[in-house]
Amino acid sequence: MRPINPASGKSRQHAIAGRLACAAASVLIASVAAVHAGEAKPFRLCADPTNLPFSSDSPSQPGFYVEIGQALAQALGQPITYDWYKSYFGKRTVRVTLLGKQCDAMIGLPRSEDFMGPAVIFSNSFAKEGYALVAAKGQAIGGVDDLRGKRVAVQYASTPQNLLATRDDIQKVTVLSPEEAMQALDQGRADVAFIWGPVAGWLNMTAYNDRYQIRLTEGEGLSWDAAIGFAKGSTALRDRVDQILPALQKTIADLAVKYGLPAGQPVRFGTAQAVPAGTTTGAGPGAGGAQVASVVATETKGDATAPNEEIAGAGKEIFNGTCAHCHGPDAIQSERKIDLRLLRHRYGDDMRETFWKTVHEGRPAKGMPSWKEVFTDNQFDSIYSFLLTVQAESND
Ligand code: HEC
């Protein structure tokens, strides 16, 4: 899926370990790097290895957040090391990595006390992130009223979908991902896409030759301030970073351009269009689903249920090889009925039993095959362990 750089020991480690136990591997490498670097203590950054435009473990294209981290480390006079960890575990990622003292900072968290405060403290905001309106150049998209009579692609269970739900004068084209929304535009099935801005910008730049104009939006659940997060004991480091940030403003602005992040005056959506709280599944930082590709994703039930990472990793491989084309890669799926992240929410204590029965016998009438001739019970166990790591909060 992503290029592996054979020159990098870290990447090789990833390939060998098949991404298993990668947190542990990174720590080991981080400490080796520290020894080689001699005196200076490294600035340890936590980042997702596969989350462009934000972060990647490819040295030639590290991403917006990682390059900000590199600039920060330089300003701090420290060498940088990385702790790579997939961010779709959301708050659990933050708990395991940042709060688990695997790293010193995590870039791109929503600057909000609601996001794991007071355990996590924040720098000042360095960027605004949010949903954006994407349309062919030349079309006026100055506000929600310009969407009247248009076909607007919105992602299932996202804030934009909820915002437009009550507008009968706007035709919604529901899609499952920002990629699909861009395709809908490209194929003439939609006039406008109302999707997560950074991903829209990135796709526009890398896949669509900069063909579209992208207008940021702001409003409740539509945009938030991105900041750098630290564990609560790290106030000294946080204060130093806050001192450095103003000098990095130009660098950060250049990086935003480099990674195609949308800029310019945002379109404001009044609260009049907002749906009542409680009906918005993807509202705001931390509460969202698959549409939020940065570290703010879904949260698991809690660490008490965190399974053995190695087994879960093996289960994930099987899952992505066999189950993902119906249930979504890494079980990220916006169609509720087949969203396996909702198993606990749906079945509670009967979750394991339901899983077991369903994978063994299938539900042929509903399109779920039986797998009992295909996998061993150990393999089912590992798939189950993987699914445990992606369960949504029960009140989703
Ligand atoms: C060909 C498509 C397809 C594949 C491949 C597939 N599933 Fe399913 N699966 C479904 C559908 C459709 C349902 C929903 C059935 C229903 O609505 O009752 C489902 C339901 C389930 C459920 C129950 C969900 C619930 O909430 O009731 C589990 C658990 C499950 N699948 C696990 C798996 C696993 C594990 C694999 C891989 C080994 C897999 N599925 C592969 C289509 C598929």
Q: Report pLDDT for 296.
A: 35
Distance, in Å, from the CA atom of 249 to the CA atom of 35, rounded to the nearest integer, reads 32
Q: How far, in Å, is the centroid of ligand 1 from the Cα of 199? A: 28
pLDDT at residue 307 greater than cutoff 70: no
**The residue type at 239:** D
What's the mean per-residue pLDDT of the chain? 79
Average pLDDT over residues 224-236: 93
Average pLDDT over residues 165-176: 89
pLDDT (tens digit per residue) in 28-67 = 444 444 445 456 899 999 998 988 999 999 999 999 999 9
Residue with tokens 């699909």: 180
Average pLDDT over residues 81-105: 81
Q: How far, in Å, is the centroid of ligand 1 from the Cα of 260? A: 37
State what percent of residues in the chain have pLDDT above 90.
42
pLDDT (tens digit per residue) in 338-394 = 999 999 999 988 888 899 999 998 988 888 888 888 888 888 988 998 998 899 875
Which residue's alpha carbon is nearest to atom 29 within ligand 1?
355
* All residues at 6 or more sequence positions from 44 whose CB lies less than 8 Å from its CB, including other chains: 30, 80, 81, 82, 83, 102, 103, 104, 105
Q: What is the DSSP string of 136-183?
A: ETT---SSGGGGTT-EEEEETTSHHHHHHTT-TTSEEEEESSHHHHHH
More confident residue, 383 or 140: 383
pLDDT (tens digit per residue) in 316-331 = 988 988 888 889 888 9
Q: State the DSSP code for 77.
A: T
Pocket of ligand 1 (CB under 6 A): 322-323, 326-327, 337-338, 340, 343, 346, 355, 358-359, 363, 366-369, 371, 383
The CATH number given to 129-222+266-273 is: 3.40.190.10
Q: How far, in Å, is the centroid of ligand 1 from the Cα of 383? A: 12
- Place domain 9-127+225-258 in its CATH homologous superfamily: Periplasmic binding protein-like II (3.40.190.10)
Where along the chain do its domains lie? 9-127+225-258, 129-222+266-273, 303-388
By most ligand atoms within 8 Å of CB, the mutation choice from 319, 327, 351 for ligand 1 is 327
The 3-class secondary structure across 199-229, one letter per residue, is HHHHHHHHCCCCCEEEEEEECCCCEEEEEEE
Overall CATH class of domain 303-388: mainly alpha
Angle at 223 between CA 214 and CA 336, to 5 degrees: 95
Average pLDDT over residues 282-305: 31
Asked if domains 9-127+225-258 and 129-222+266-273 share a fold, the reply is yes
Is pTM beyond 0.75? Reply is: no
